[in-house]
């Protein structure tokens, strides 16, 4: 398992541990061997989930103008990934009867990887060394 892309950023006047959205997508891609052409789609899906969810601007996430990127707190990253895993499970269930088995297997692999990253963040918060 590769190292989490955790950085520090100023959110609501305090320095917080954060994960930048593009770093998160790169980390997920690094852990999978899928086609990298869906990177933009994944970024847009996660951005939409942030906007549609109840994430609070400048508390749960902030826009870093220097990096032109969204920075998420660790807990917000976990929530976003859990919602993404749920979305992927729903899509896999809905299309399972219409598609071939490898797509479902890929979805299950991605779901497992997403939950592994969530657990990595939990371990980081608790101070557990890997």
Render each residue's pLDDT in the chain as its tens digit; 130 residues. 678 999 999 999 999 999 999 999 999 888 877 666 778 888 899 999 999 988 999 999 999 989 999 999 999 999 999 999 998 888 777 776 665 555 556 667 778 889 999 999 999 999 976 5
> Could you tell me which of 7, 10, 19, 15 has the C-alpha nearest to residue 117?
19
- Look at residue 67 and tell me if it is in a domain: yes
Query: Which residues span the domain enclosing 20?
Result: 6-126
> Could you tell me which of 2, 91, 3 has the C-alpha nearest to residue 41?
91
- Look at residue 79 and tell me if it is in a domain: yes
- Look at residue 18 and tell me if it is in a domain: yes
Q: Give dist(CA 29, CA 38) in Å, integer.
A: 10
Res 101: pLDDT: 54
Res 130: pLDDT: 57
- Look at residue 36 and tell me if it is in a domain: yes
Domain count, the chain: 1
Burial 5-26 (b: 16+ CB within 10 A, else e): bbeebebeeeebbbbbbbbbbe
- Look at residue 1 and tell me if it is in a domain: no
């Amino acid at each position: 398992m590769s190292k989490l892309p955790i950085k520090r950023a100023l959110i609501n006047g305090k320095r917080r541990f954060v994960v930048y959205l593009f770093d998160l997508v790169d980390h997920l891609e690094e852990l999978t061997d899928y086609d990298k052409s869906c990177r933009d789609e994944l970024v847009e899906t996660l951005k939409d989930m942030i906007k549609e969810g109840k994430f609070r601007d400048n508390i749960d996430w902030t826009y870093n103008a220097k990096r032109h990127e969204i920075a998420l707190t660790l807990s917000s990253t976990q929530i976003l990934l859990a919602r993404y895993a749920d979305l992927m499970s729903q899509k896999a269930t809905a299309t399972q009867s219409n598609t071939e088995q490898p797509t479902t297997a890929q979805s299950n692999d991605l779901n497992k990887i997403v939950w592994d990253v969530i657990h990595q963040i939990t371990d980081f918060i608790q101070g557990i060394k890997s």
